[in-house]
Structure 1
């Protein structure tokens, strides 16, 4: 892997040309709490090279991208942005495809693998579905919203929560649906725990400090399976 000497990195700092790759790399690294030096050591490089990738229009080899993406827990397409605007679900269905029900235990495991899902509530105008950043709080699904939002005003009602994953390469995927009572979190100890363990702030920004939780009474899921 190419190493960028400290003096060279410093000399080019004034002509930084951060690319989408650099922005994505930096955002993911910072989200994981890694320094440039730490990430470099894991990839067999050094902090100066990571800094160069983040701040300049670099053209790393595919081997470098694979190692960096692997250490960051993402794919190369995720890291480079190749999949950001891709419309999923347009690949041709495979022969002998079938929907296979998922067991409740597997569904609950899958709920713990994501960070963004869709909450569905009923309103006077009809059903409303809103994407939210979420986390698992034991067996409950917790997320933050605005107290004035449609979802924030839906405490005490039944709601649905859905996540899914789609793989266009294999024309496969799965979805999980949780249904249960939606309520606002008011217990100070629970609120303190949620605020200290939340992995991110709501992407939507703004005043979204009202914690809500859905307690599932029914969790179901399906997976697209193929007879290879």
Structure 2
């Protein structure tokens, strides 16, 4: 039986305004949730509907019950990702997203979403690792290329404007070379090296082979830095 393709939701899913929702309506929705059998597919459908209404607590109950029924269902973990994002719990959202990736490694879009979340929390090296994993298998992947371009653009602008601390770049040790390069240029010193993306690396056809190094250290004399 073919596994259905789980839906991928944007990171900043808008939460519907439900301040005018009548108490009796909330009660009916709660009763509907409690009356559903522990069938993950049904619970997920109701959970996403509740998220559309901004009722994250009821949605969390639905997805939690679905998870208890089948903790290896990637669609349930993705539903929890959406729920925790709407609740503002990004660490928990990333945990379930990583589980979903381990269950469906062929879904490259999930790694792009995880990279976006990691960038938001200033874990830039981990974000680059996720994008590199996607681009190694599919160099033309639009989402991964766009995510990589956004990261590099933000880093370049931060170094150029001298506000790397505000951008979060300085919080990630993998970008210490870029920070040092920017600081060296501002102070008239020789620029340090930095990590450079090797766009010429093609996917390795034989899984037994060792994949080429996609990110490599570039010395100060390299034209890419000057």
What range is the shorter-chain TM-score in? under 0.3
Higher-RCO chain (CA-CA 8 Å, sequence separation at least 6): 1
Q: Which has more helix, going by share of residues? A: 2
Q: Which has more strand, going by share of residues? A: 1
